[in-house]
Amino acid sequence: MTSSPATDAAASLLSSLIAHGVRDVVISPGSRSQALALAATHFARQESLRVHVRIDERVAGFTALGIAREQRAPVAVVCTSGTAVANLLPAVMEAFHAGVPLLLLTADRPPELRGVGANQATVQPGLFERFARLSIDAPVPGDDHGFDWHALGTQAVSAALGMVGTSSGDAAPTGTDTFAIDRSTVLPASVHPRAAEDPRQTAAPVLDGIAGPVHLNLPSREPLSAALASSKTATPGPAPFTAPMPPLEVHHGPRTLVIAGADAGPDAEAIAHAGGWPLVAEIVSGARFGRNLVHGYRELLRDESLGGRVERAIVLGHPTLSREVTALLRRKDVDVIAVRSGGEALNLNGRTVAAASVVVAAGEPDRAWLGAWRAASAAASVDLSDPAPDAGGLLSTDAATRRDAVSVELAAVRRPLDRALLADAVWRATWPHDRLVFGSSRLVRVADAVLPGKKVPVHANRGLAGIDGTIATATGIAIASQAAGAAGITRVLLGDVTFLHDVGALLLPPDEPEPRLQVIVGNDRGGTIFDALEVASEAPGDDLDRAFYTPHTVGIEHLARAYGWEYQRVTTRAALDQALTTPAGGRQIIEVPLER
């Protein structure tokens, strides 16, 4: 049997990742990464690992991001050298800003083939350093002189979960593995740990509980792979234990608003409920529910009798959907407490207090303050549902009355769709066992303005709010949420430009389980999100169309058929409701034409 140091190192590294809770690896094929890919498929046959193959590295990166988003556990992505590595950058940046743990295993040329014009060789060490919790250029297997690959996997997982910087003498909590490693005996000279802190702030300990990407650059020499013996196994272990950081105790007194941005989750509602404070929850927050939820918050924040009187804001997640929230958080007279979850601190007013978590102290809530917001919220709520059928009119013996009632019902059935009705239909069809993903399209802002409260799991790539990788991310979320036969559908609501930006993600291998996934495309045939920006009123019409709206004539049905997706085109609310709720397993694209 041929021996390959690269294969031995890859097997040791992956077995360590598996032992420390990694369950999924996304692979893009390539020659230089063959040892990693074959080790992954070897462990997948033993059911120690789930392997997902994507031919496009950008799609692979966002698929891994989606799985990690749902699981809140590290997911590995494997690629070959050269431009393949660069294609991971968009997903890496989103993972950094959103606090999602990713493990980037990038194959590379050995030192003697760097900087000499060798094929597919570029400057990979430190490529993601600005966005990585840890960057390591590993030694070449065979030249490693006892390098501990298993310990490298341990360090990578702990770094991805925000536990870099522990010393070898630190003890782990009882019953858990120790993730503290002596860096001088494990890591090579080219190591770039960083705290991922805002450069405007003073340095903080790297041990901060903030998850993010980790980059392991892995050079190798030929032979690049060899068969692994069937006796080589990996034992799945539990995810690492992260000791919680001490919470910040928040007292009653100041007129307080709880603001939930992307990825805030149910904690925001729990804090608002415990404190008796109004809750402003973006539609992407996963916190849009509860008695304290504020409807129509944009208008109310502009109201001097409400938004103008806010003295303190407690922020969870990353708010990005309204200028009114940004304006509030910039005010110097507002005390801001930000519960940090991403790699970049939120400090818009220069005096923000960062916290790992908050707990509400015992005290008497300001009922008048909450009551004023509740009253205004009730008046601002939007009801997009059709009125109940006129049962009396439909059963009337008077022909004219019956005809009028039937006409009203037919009008409701044939009601054409606009953006608000589209968002409302998708929201109403989604339940706690489902997942809902919003693209960074005009539709998410419409949804944020009109949708009522409902406790459903919501995802969106709002760390940077780019349109990159939305379908791939949703696919990863579907894979993770439906693992082990779990029920539910993952729905992604996005515009046509966001859809077209990620068409490559529609390609799935025929030998992988098909996730239940509905991609709902609001197609207005161009980037009408620019309607709300200054350019719409300043630029000449032809220039606006060509450079911003980018009109197109793409046949989405033909794309769906080519990639093996079911397809429906719907134009009325009744037809959309039926399409969303009719059981039809597998992958579906639902196209909804919209006016420009």
pLDDT at 435: 97
Matching fold, domains 5-219 and 248-380 = yes
Pick the closest to residue 294 from 480, 445, 178, 452 (CA basis). 452
Alpha-carbon span 64 to 56, nearest angstrom: 12
Architecture of domain 419-593: 3-Layer(aba) Sandwich (3.40)
Q: Check residue 412 and give its pLDDT.
A: 67
The pair phi, psi for residue 584, each rounded to 5°, is: -155, 45
At residue 486, φ and ψ (nearest 5 deg) are -65, 150
239 versus 124: the higher-pLDDT residue is 124
Q: How far is Cα 559 from Cα 589, in angstroms, rounded to an integer?
A: 10
| Of 118-122, 209-213, 329-333, 408-412, the least confident | 408-412
**Residues 166-178: tens digit of each pLDDT:** 333 333 332 323 2
| Strand pairing report for 24-27 and 50-53 | parallel
Please report the pLDDT score of residue 409 as a whole number: 65
pLDDT at 541 over 80: no
> Environment class of residue 548 by beta-carbon count within 10 Å: exposed (0-12), middle (13-18) or buried (19+)?
middle
Greater confidence, 504 or 242? 504
Summarised one tens digit per residue, pLDDT across range 258-267 is: 999 999 999 9
What is the mean pLDDT of the segment spanning 352-371? 94
Residue 188 has pLDDT above 70, yes or no: no
Q: Is the pLDDT of residue 270 over 70?
A: yes
- What confidence category does residue 291 fall into, taking pLDDT thresholds of 50, 70 and 90? very high
User: Three-state SS for 371?
Assistant: helix
The rounded radius of gyration (Å) of the Cα atoms in the chain is 26
Residues of the chain with pLDDT > 90, as a percent, come to: 71
In this structure, of 404-413, 507-516, 553-562, the range with the lowest mean pLDDT score is: 404-413
pLDDT-based confidence at residue 533 (cuts at 50, 70, 90): low
Query: Exposure of 511 by Cβ count < 10 A (0-12 exposed, 13-18 middle, 19+ buried)?
Result: exposed
* Chain length of the chain: 596
pLDDT value at residue 400: 78
What distance in Å separates the CA atoms of residue 353 and residue 262, rounded to the nearest whole number? 19
pTM of the prediction? 0.89
Residues 6+ apart with CB under 8 A from 546: none
Phi, psi of 334 (to 5 degrees): -110, 125
Q: Where are the alpha helices (DSSP H) in 228-355?
A: 267-275, 297-302, 323-330
Q: Domain spans of the chain?
A: 5-219, 248-380, 419-593
Instruction: Please tell me the predicted confidence (pLDDT) of residue 191.
Output: 41
The H or E element that residue 429 is part of is helix 419-429
H helix or E strand, kind and range, residue 354: strand 353-355
- Quickly name the fold that domain 5-219 has: Rossmann fold (3.40.50)
Dihedral sign computed on CA atoms, order 286, 287, 293, 297 = negative
Higher pLDDT, 144 or 511: 511
Reduced to 3 states, what is the DSSP secondary structure of residue 434?
coil
Please, what is the average pLDDT of the chain? 87
450 versus 534: the higher-pLDDT residue is 450
Look at 540 and 233; give whichever has higher pLDDT. 233
Which whole number is the average pLDDT over 339-357? 90
pLDDT tens-digit readout, 432-446: 999 999 999 999 999
Does position 392 have pLDDT exceeding 90, yes or no? no
What pLDDT is attached to residue 584?
66
CA pair distance 144, 501, nearest whole angstrom: 42
Superfamily, domain 248-380: TPP-binding domain (3.40.50.1220)
- Confidence at residue 406, expressed as pLDDT on a 0 to 100 scale: 72
Rounded to an integer, the average pLDDT of 377-384 is 87
